[in-house]
Structure formats: C-alpha cells, structure tokens
C-alpha cells in the first residue's frame, strides 16, 4: 500500500510517500511544493493544484493522509492555508482514492508516543522508523511523512479518520 502524506501550506506544502508491505514501511520520496509571495493568490493556488496532480499521477497512492490544520493566532494566515488545503483536497478528490485526516497531536502520539513532542523529537523518530541516514528536509516534508506513517500505523482503526 502506498500512502501520500500531506502537510498543507500556501508557501510550503510538504508531501511524502511511503510504501507499506506487511510490517515493513519504506520512504519512496518526500519534498515540498513551493510558492512565493511574488505570485498572485490564484497563481499560487493553481501551482499547488497542478503540482499535486503531478504527484498523484507519478506515485499513484492507494490512500492519502492529511495533517489537519491548526491555528492559534493568525486568522489571515489560516484563511490562506485553508485555500491551499482546499485546492489540494480538490486535486485529491478528483484522483479518487480515500482521504484521511489526523490532528497534529494524533500524529505526534503515533510517531513518538507523546502528543506534545517537539519538532526535533518528531524528526528523529521519523528518521529511526524509516531507517534513514538523515532527517527529512524541509520540515514540512518531514511532517507530511509523519502523517503518512501515522496512517499506516492506524491499520484497521483508520476508518475513524476518513474525511467526511
């Protein structure tokens, strides 16, 4: 089973693809779709939409796991990231495989065993779980891989995380 993990963002949208075969999980690839403030909002959103469609065509995932959005303070940033998440959801819905969503706390709990783990703990555990030589960069890509790993680890319980 191939799982595409997505960490939504407007400037940097992290993605990572893992493949699970039995109890073995391997990282296929990870990266980020990048947009710049010099682009208009419609250009940035189209860039993310078309980039996601290319990733879906290239990797042909069986399932897709999103990190749920979380914002504490800045509503303007939240709206922009919500737009980015929306076009990404649209591309994924068009692709047609099941979509799942996990909160940051659920991902941290799944990967480290502690729901309030910091970024360094998360990156280190992702590296260990996938037996990698280096930490995944950028951070957004590492977060996306963590979402994909969380989905794989959810196993039979994954249905409770399906997007509604």
Q: Provide the annotated active-site residues.
A: 7, 67, 140
Tokens of 117: 């783990």
- The DSSP letter of residue 69 is P
Residue 66 per-residue DSSP state: E
- Cβ atoms 129, 24 nearer than 8 A: no
| Residue 103 to residue 30: CA distance in whole angstroms | 20
Sheet of 12-21, strand order: 24-34, 12-21, 2-7, 63-67, 99-102
- What is the distance between the terminal CA atoms of the chain, rounded to a whole angstrom? 22
């Amino acid at each position: 089973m191939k799982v595409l993990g997505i960490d939504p963002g407007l400037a940097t949208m992290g993605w990572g693809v893992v493949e699970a075969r039995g109890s073995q999980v391997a990282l296929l690839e990870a990266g980020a779709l990048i947009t710049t403030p010099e682009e208009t909002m419609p250009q940035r959103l189209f860039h993310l939409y078309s980039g996601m469609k290319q990733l879906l065509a290239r990797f042909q995932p069986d399932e897709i796991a999103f990190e749920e959005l979380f914002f504490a303070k800045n509503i303007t940033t939240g709206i922009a990231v919500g737009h980015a998440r929306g076009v990404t959801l649209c591309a994924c819905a068009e692709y047609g495989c099941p979509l799942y969503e996990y909160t940051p706390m659920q991902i941290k709990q799944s990967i480290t065993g502690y729901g309030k783990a910091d970024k360094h703990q998360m990156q280190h555990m992702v590296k260990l779980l996938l037996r990698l030589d280096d930490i995944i960069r950028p951070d957004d890509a590492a977060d996306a891989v963590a979402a994909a790993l969380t989905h794989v680890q959810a196993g039979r319980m994954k249905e409770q995380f399906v997007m509604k």
